[in-house]
Amino acid sequence: GKRAFVAGVADDNGFGWAIAKSLAAAGAEILVGTWVPALNIFETSLQRGKFDESRKLPDGSLMEITKIYPLDAVFDNPDDVPEDIKTNRRYAGSTNWTVREVAESVKRDFGSIDILVHSLANGPEVSKPLLETSRNGYLAALSASRGSSISLTHVASERIIPGYGGGMNSAKAALESDTRVLAFEAGRKHKIRVNTISAGPLRSRAAKAIGF
């Protein structure tokens, strides 16, 4: 069977959860990366059976998540993490959650993965028009929204979508461009396919935040 790592699952409403389920139904082993501040409530809800109904696969069995890794995709190394995050109460209980550390942990635990899904969204100023977006908000949107292998993009990269602000349009345009370049580079170098999906709208937590 294949092993998949799905980054960006913290409840059962988003694309990450739905993709994980489809992969599990197809026989894949599922690992997930969950945003550090959301980890506690996700693990607790899972343990208490809150997601059991939506864990149901077509054959009646429940999706198993082999391991949940705390992840903050904005930081590559511990050196990148600013003091206020390091000392933040919601981060204090977890370790090894920067991108490089998670990659190393997965490698140590499982050796390799076959499928990587990037299903993250974080535009802290997504509800502000681009005209009113701060430099920090804009850079945060670009920093969290780039990805590889399979990611989720938005039609706002090429068309004006009022309400999709904070630089998220730019983040998605960068994602699509990077997908093309990474498909070329990683394809030649490692035979890794890199794609992005522009799905229809889904009322996830991220989408509700901007009133979709």
Q: Which residues bind ligand ZID (CB under 6 A)?
A: 8-10, 13-16, 35, 38, 71-74, 119-122, 144, 152, 154-155, 200-202, 204-207, 212
Q: Strands, DSSP E only, in 79-128? A: 115-118
- Residue 161 near residue 154, CB atoms below 8 Å: yes
State in angstroms the smallest separation of the CB of 123 from ligand ZID.
Answer: 8
Cα 136 to chain centroid distance, Å, stands at 20
Between residues 61 and 158, which has the closer beta carbon with respect to ligand ZID? Answer: 158
Tell me the closest approach of the beta carbon of residue 172 to ligand ZID, in angstroms: 7
- Quote the least distance from Cβ 130 to ligand ZID, whole Å: 16
Whole-number Å distance between alpha carbons of 153 and 196: 6
Q: How far is CA 65 from the centre of its chain?
A: 16
Shortest Cβ distance from residue 188 to ligand ZID (Å)? 26
Structure tokens belonging to residue 133: 């977006």
3-state DSSP assignment of residue 56: strand
Nearer to ligand ZID, 61 or 180 (CB): 180
Q: How remote is the C-alpha of 93 from its chain's centroid?
A: 21
Shortest spacing between CB 74 and ligand ZID, in angstroms: 4
**How far is CA 53 from its chain centroid?**
23
In the bound state with ligand ZID, the residue whose beta carbon lies nearer, of 61 and 199, is 199
Q: Which is nearer to ligand ZID, 21 or 154 (CB)?
A: 154
Question: Which residue lies nearer to ligand ZID by CB, 62 or 176?
Answer: 176
SS3 125: coil
Nearest to 78 by CA among 42, 112, 104, 116: 104
